[in-house]
Amino acid sequence: MTGQRMAGRVSGVAVAVVLTVATGAVARADDGFESLPARQIADRSRDALLDARSLRLHSRGDLGKGGPAMTVDLSLDRDGNCAGRVDLGDDQGTVEIVKRGDAVWLKPNADFWENQVPVGGTTFEAVLAGRYMKGDASDSRLRPVVEACDLDTFRALVSDNADSSSGTLTKKPVTRVEDTRTVPVTRTVHDRELTVYVDTGGRHYPVRLTVHGAGADAAVDFSGFDEPVPASTPSPEDTVDVSALLGRSPAPS
């Protein structure tokens, strides 16, 4: 196994979520917000999302990429701090992620080592013994994870896709997402219906984004806007240096 392979596998899920969000035309409080046209509602939601200093995103479902349905639950901010968990689906493995400052911690479970690292995975699992592997944010082997954990990367992708004119925006009747009153705005692109549910109050953040059709059936929930990313980090006793771990040459398992 290599650091690049693990980092790429973990960050690939998060990046897929980001790109799905960016593809949808996604969002300050004014009287009559609910009566605004779909385009203005979507634009305000996008702007609110781009202004956030931190957020939590929870994605689940199948993005139509031919793999199992995955789950991503990450809190991230503009300072590059991040905490959360990625589940690859179908018992393919989970990875816990913590990034604070210049340090990154990853803890794959037994299913990850067995399915994602068939050669040598059990050896790595035995060496870690339930601990995190720790590395520096500057380590090129962990760069994909570092980038995926940075809210500025997420914001750049959303901003770069903000002027997409594919499909027609349609406003749907007001509905509730959990306890939040929202206005759904829908767009169909390449046989996929993307719907962003925009909070009718406050700063009009996007609350949920769904993707249906052409093999995709997924949802992304947004919450925790401008709330601090959890600051706790694994203790030294609960970590193994990534260079020491990857420097080993495990026998085939």
Of 2-11, 45-54, 117-126, 129-138, the one with minimum mean pLDDT is 2-11
Confidence of residue 134 (pLDDT cuts 50, 70, 90): very high
Q: Stretch 194-199: mean pLDDT, rounded?
A: 93
**pLDDT: which is higher, 223 or 17:** 223
- Summarised one tens digit per residue, pLDDT across range 150-162 is 788 778 767 655 5
pLDDT at 75: 95
d(Cα 163, Cα 69) in Å, to the nearest integer?
29
Of 64-78, 122-136, 209-223, the one with minimum mean pLDDT is 64-78
**pLDDT: which is higher, 159 or 96:** 96
- Contact at 8 Å (CB) between 119 and 110? no
pLDDT beyond 50 at 180 = yes
pLDDT beyond 50 at 30 = no
- Name the residue ranges covered by the structural domains of the chain: 3-246
Instruction: Write out the H or E segment, with its range, that includes residue 56.
Output: strand 54-63
pLDDT beyond 90 at 174 = yes
pLDDT beyond 50 at 222 = yes
Query: Which residues, listed in sequence order, are joined to residue 241 by a DSSP beta bridge?
Result: 134
Confidence of residue 191 (pLDDT cuts 50, 70, 90): confident
d(Cα 66, Cα 240) in Å, to the nearest integer?
34
Instruction: Give the position of tokens 């690859």.
Output: 88
pLDDT at 31: 53
**pLDDT: which is higher, 25 or 219:** 219
109's tokens: 């479970």
Instruction: Write out the H or E segment, with its range, that includes residue 15.
Output: helix 3-23
Q: Stretch 12-41: mean pLDDT, rounded?
A: 62
Query: Which residues, listed in sequence order, are joined to residue 95 by a DSSP beta bridge?
Result: 86, 108
Confidence of residue 188 (pLDDT cuts 50, 70, 90): confident
Residues 6+ apart with CB under 8 A from 150: 76, 78, 80, 82
Q: Give residue 106's identity as a one-letter amino acid code.
A: L
pTM higher than 0.85, yes or no? no
CA–CA distance from 197 to each of 4, 22, 121, 138 (Å)? 36, 14, 41, 37
Mean pLDDT value across the chain:
82
d(Cα 250, Cα 74) in Å, to the nearest integer?
31
pLDDT at 152: 83
CA–CA distance from 212 to each of 24, 42, 62 (Å)? 12, 18, 9
CATH architecture of 3-246: Clam (2.50)
Instruction: Write out the H or E segment, with its range, that includes residue 196.
Output: strand 192-199
- Summarised one tens digit per residue, pLDDT across range 35-90 is 999 999 989 998 999 999 999 999 888 877 777 888 889 999 999 899 999 898 89
Instruction: Give the position of tokens 């692109």.
Output: 189
- Contact at 8 Å (CB) between 85 and 96? yes
- Summarised one tens digit per residue, pLDDT across range 235-251 is 999 999 988 777 654 44
Give the rounded percent of residues in the chain with a pLDDT score beyond 70. Answer: 80
